[in-house]
Amino acid sequence: MSGALAEARRRIEAEEAVAIVTVVSAPESVGRRLLMLSDGTVEGTLGSDSLDQQATADAREQLLRGESTTREYTIDGEATLIFFDVYPAPNRLLVFGGVHIAVPLVELAKVLGFRVTVVDARGQFASQDRFPKADEIVVAYADDYLQNARLDLSTYVVVLTHDPKLDDPAIIHALKRPVRYIGAIGSRRTHAKRAERLREAGLTDEQIATIHGPIGLDIKAKNPEEIALSILGEMVATKNGVPTLARHERERVAAPA
């Protein structure tokens, strides 16, 4: 087994998403391959800088879709056929804040097949009794937990405490990593204040605009179960590449005056 395939196998066994990109038809480079890993890094080469650049961008797209495919490129006038062999990772939801909304959110997320971790420094909120279906419960501050947590294209981050001291560190850390979704609870006014704090922390407007805040689809949710449903709906829309109607509003709110 080649080094690239051995590394791919190791990643797959660790439940990390991997795309194995292989040249299957070309004048001179059949069998060359590269790996696109879930954290956005690339290992290997297809033998051409131009081909590597195009294939890497497409590999990321296929990882987001979770689908294998074949694509043809023209390099120096010659046709090159590439196979993208995609091994998606289980979708993982990190819930920061074991508040009342988190209870139905965890239960619904498990129904949809997410691996769920609840993180809260307050032991009374982060307990097995409160979240019997969670895969993992961690009593810790967000920044401490995230020091060693895996954040990648299969990771969905939801922050729910309404406390900047608890929510902001999770958001700041997640915005610096290639996570699939970041959602933060709070009104538009709350999100505007959050955006200002994040700018002061050194984050860019482009990064801030990726936050889903106010969190969830606008379905006029009125109770924790409906709010949880709106959050899961938005997460599924993101997973399936469907833009949410409120995105332009988020970008407007996050933009500096």
User: DSSP secondary structure string, 160-192?
Assistant: --S-HHHHHHHHHHHHTTT-SEEEE-S-HHHHH
51 & 30 share domain: yes
% of the chain beyond a pLDDT of 70: 94
Residue 11 confidence class, pLDDT cut points 50, 70, 90: confident
139 & 45 share domain: no
8 & 54 share domain: yes
**Residue 226 phi, psi (nearest 5):** -70, -40
Q: Check whether 254 has a pLDDT greater than 70.
A: no
Q: Write down the residue that tokens 């990772």 correspond to.
A: 89
119 & 55 share domain: no
Q: Are 145 and 173 in contact (CB under 8 A)?
A: no
pLDDT at residue number 245: 52
From 58, 87, 116, give the residue that closes a domain. Answer: 87
DSSP H or E stretch at residue 78: strand 78-87
131 & 237 share domain: yes
77 & 185 share domain: no
Q: What pLDDT digit, counting tens, does each position of 48-62 carry?
A: 888 999 999 999 889
> The CATH number of the domain where 246 resides is what?
3.40.50.720
From 70, 87, 104, give the residue that closes a domain. Answer: 87
Q: Nearest-CA neighbor of 94 among 162, 163, 157, 180?
A: 157
58 & 36 share domain: yes
108 & 53 share domain: no
% of the chain beyond a pLDDT of 90: 63
Least confident of 21-30, 108-117, 209-218: 21-30
pLDDT at residue number 5: 83
Q: Check whether 208 has a pLDDT greater than 50.
A: yes
pLDDT at residue number 227: 96
Q: Write down the residue that tokens 């922050």 correspond to.
A: 159
Q: Check whether 257 has a pLDDT greater than 60.
A: no
pTM of the model: 0.82
Among positive and negative, which fits the CA dihedral 158, 162, 168, 169?
negative
**What integer is the mean pLDDT of 147-175?**
92
Parent domain of 13: 3-87
Q: Check whether 241 has a pLDDT greater than 70.
A: yes
Q: Are 93 and 156 in contact (CB under 8 A)?
A: yes
12 & 53 share domain: yes
Question: 99 or 64, which is more confident?
Answer: 99
CA distances from 127 to 118, 141, 193 (A): 9, 15, 31
For residue 21, the tally of other CB atoms under 10 A from its CB is 27
- CA-only gyration radius of the chain, Å: 20
Burial of residue 4, with CB atoms counted within 10 A of its CB: 0-12 exposed, 13-18 middle, 19 or more buried: middle
Q: Check whether 247 has a pLDDT greater than 60.
A: no
pLDDT at residue number 2: 66
Q: What pLDDT digit, counting tens, does each position of 81-110 carry?
A: 999 999 988 999 999 999 999 999 999 999
As for how many domains the chain has, the answer is 2
pLDDT at residue number 107: 97
**What integer is the mean pLDDT of 165-172?**
92
From 87, 104, 123, give the residue that closes a domain. Answer: 87
With H, G, I as helix, E, B as strand and everything else as coil, classify residue 61: helix
CA distance 62 to 67: 6
Among positive and negative, which fits the CA dihedral 228, 177, 60, 252?
positive
